[in-house]
Structure 1
Amino acid sequence: MCNSRFFVVTGVHYTVEAKLFIEIPTEAIQKDTAIKTARSEIWRCFVKSSEQSENSCVAVKSITFNRKPSADEVEEAKKIILHRASIWIELYHDNILRLEGIISDGGFGLLPALVSPWMENGSLDNYLDVRQPDLDKKLFVLREIAVGLQYLHSKDIYSDLTPVG
């Protein structure tokens, strides 16, 4: 079971599009298990913080290429990831997962990896398959998703919504 408290790791802070990111050094991360999707790997990891006695459990999402990319493709993908992260880091809502920081020192591939809290129930499709909630719980989850989506739309954020990480 993972500790769900937030963590702070002292690292390099830098700005992208006037947003401050916390750079989490790879050596502060202990990899556990990975879930591979068509375009990413989502790692369950543990982070030791100087401010906490216990390890914090986090998800580290690294975007992957399905072939060897050119240097230009890597740079363009980095810009896109950092742009999206600059939007995500500004979101504060109970139904929106927080961006905790990024890892860009190569420990998770060519591109910056995104660090967020680990969700013990996994993705929505996994939760529905494994937990098989009753109708009332499904309706509750649907309402919570709608509230989060309404918040995103109020910020002029529109994107594909999928039940997987």
Structure 2
Amino acid sequence: MSNTQIFHLTSKDRHPETADLTQFLTQSEGADTIVGPHARVYKCELHYESTTKIVAVKRIYPRGATPEDIERVDVRVRREIVVWIGLEHENIVQLLGTTEKNQDFPSIGMVSEWMENGNLWSYIKETRPLIDRLQLICDVVTGLTYLHSQRVIHGDLTSANVLIDNNGRARLVDFGLSSIIAAFEGTSLMASAIGGALRFRAMELMPPLEEDPTNFDPKLTTACDIYSLGSVTLQILSGQQPYYNINDDVLVALALTQRKTPDRPDTQKLVDRNEYWDFIQKCWRKDPVTRPNAEEARDELFRLRKVVLA
């Protein structure tokens, strides 16, 4: 089933930004539900006429959310859906439509293509040739450049939010959701999801150690995404997560408040080139305005790939 078919089956009496696919969906038999700290993902089948497409249905569940919170989440998610469904790029996971809430599911679901290869982190745990890893980096920065060109901030760029399609190409997903989750969770620095996963979070989204955290009001910017891009690049090249040598996330948070960037992994298993380390350090510059923008990062990473593979 093509995305064009899906548009036609849902657009007869609805705008595409509210395309409701509920009546065409069934949960795949025996399929596991992927449960994360903020959401659940269901593997489903989308049926239309004589064709079937495997899709993912994602529903947001902030931890400790009350029924009133869920209603507010629903409103916020619908706003993000309007943005997401207008995006179309080979390095962005395509939003196909929505599925409405019901007795079993208290929040709206987002229907997207199912990626059998999983996320970037699980994918690169397998042995991957250097040429493939460098392509993944180029895919990520190309997708990010597209988002920024559409005035969309990802806000949670991590290896968990990059999915791998059937051709082994990287696609970004879950942009804009970290700010929704943060709005409905606690105000503690560890609980707050603003800026996404802690190890990939831009340091300016954490209060400096000497500052009163009660007055701290972080703002997501495109520069925050660039910081996270540096961390994703590090992980693809080294096979190590940022702050690989710090096991406790509380200590990672402390390092961020002290404005300490991740150490360079001590590994020769994968590419260990000074040119890439220099690029990563540019992404981690303490002053956000001095970091490269997405287009500059894309041009640099494509140039580096050509140099390394020459």
Deviations 1:5-24 (A, max 9, x none): 44528458555xxx632101
Asked whether the 8 Å contact 2:43–2:114 carries over to 1, the reply is yes
**Is 1:8 matched up with 2:3?**
no
DSSP 3-state at the match of 1:125: helix
| Structure with more helix by fraction | 2
In the other structure, the counterpart of 1:144 is: 139
In the other structure, the counterpart of 1:106 is: 102
Asked whether the 8 Å contact 1:33–1:43 carries over to 2, the reply is yes
| Counterpart residue type for residue 127 of structure 1 | Y
Measure the CA separation in 2 of the matches of 1:108 and 1:89.
25
Structure with the larger RCO, 1 or 2 (CA within 8 Å, 6+ apart): 1
| Counterpart residue type for residue 129 of structure 2 | D
Q: Which region of structure 1 is more displaced relative to structure 2, 6-15 or 74-83?
A: 6-15
| Counterpart residue type for residue 52 of structure 2 | N
Measure the CA separation in 1 of the matches of 2:72 and 2:101.
17
Shift of 1:160: 1.8
In the other structure, the counterpart of 2:88 is: 92
| Counterpart residue type for residue 6 of structure 2 | V
In the other structure, the counterpart of 1:132 is: 127
**Is 1:28 matched up with 2:25?**
yes
Shift of 1:26: 5.2
TM-score w.r.t. the length of structure 1 is: 0.82
Identity %: 25
Shift of 1:33: 2.2
Cα 1:65–1:160, aligned 2, differ >3 Å: closer, same or farther? closer
Shift of 1:143: 0.3
DSSP 3-state at the match of 1:114: strand
Measure the CA separation in 2 of the matches of 1:90 and 1:34.
27
Cα 1:136–1:147, aligned 2, differ >3 Å: closer, same or farther? same
DSSP 3-state at the match of 1:100: strand
In the other structure, the counterpart of 1:154 is: 149
Deviations 1:118-164 (A, max 9, x none): 011011112112x3312211100100110110011111111221222
TM-score w.r.t. the length of structure 2 is: 0.46
Structure 2: any 5+ residue segments left out of the alignment?
Answer: 162-310
**Is 1:59 matched up with 2:71?**
no
Cα 1:44–1:14, aligned 2, differ >3 Å: closer, same or farther? same
Shift of 1:98: 0.6
| Structure with more strand by fraction | 1
How many residue pairs end up in the alignment?
Answer: 155
Measure the CA separation in 1 of the matches of 2:59 and 2:85.
17
Measure the CA separation in 1 of the matches of 2:132 and 2:105.
38
The root-mean-square deviation of aligned C-alpha atoms, in Å, is: 2.3
Asked whether the 8 Å contact 2:39–2:58 carries over to 1, the reply is yes
| Counterpart residue type for residue 23 of structure 1 | D
In the other structure, the counterpart of 1:77 is: 73
Which is greater in Rg?
2
Cα 1:122–1:107, aligned 2, differ >3 Å: closer, same or farther? farther
Deviations 1:69-96 (A, max 9, x none): 132x122101111111110011011111
Measure the CA separation in 2 of the matches of 1:150 and 1:107.
40
Measure the CA separation in 1 of the matches of 2:2 and 2:103.
23
Shift of 1:111: 0.9
**Is 1:45 matched up with 2:40?**
no
Measure the CA separation in 2 of the matches of 1:30 and 1:70.
24
Deviations 1:13-70 (A, max 9, x none): 555xxx63210125632233211111111111111112xx232100111112333513
Cα 1:54–1:108, aligned 2, differ >3 Å: closer, same or farther? farther
Asked whether the 8 Å contact 1:93–1:148 carries over to 2, the reply is yes
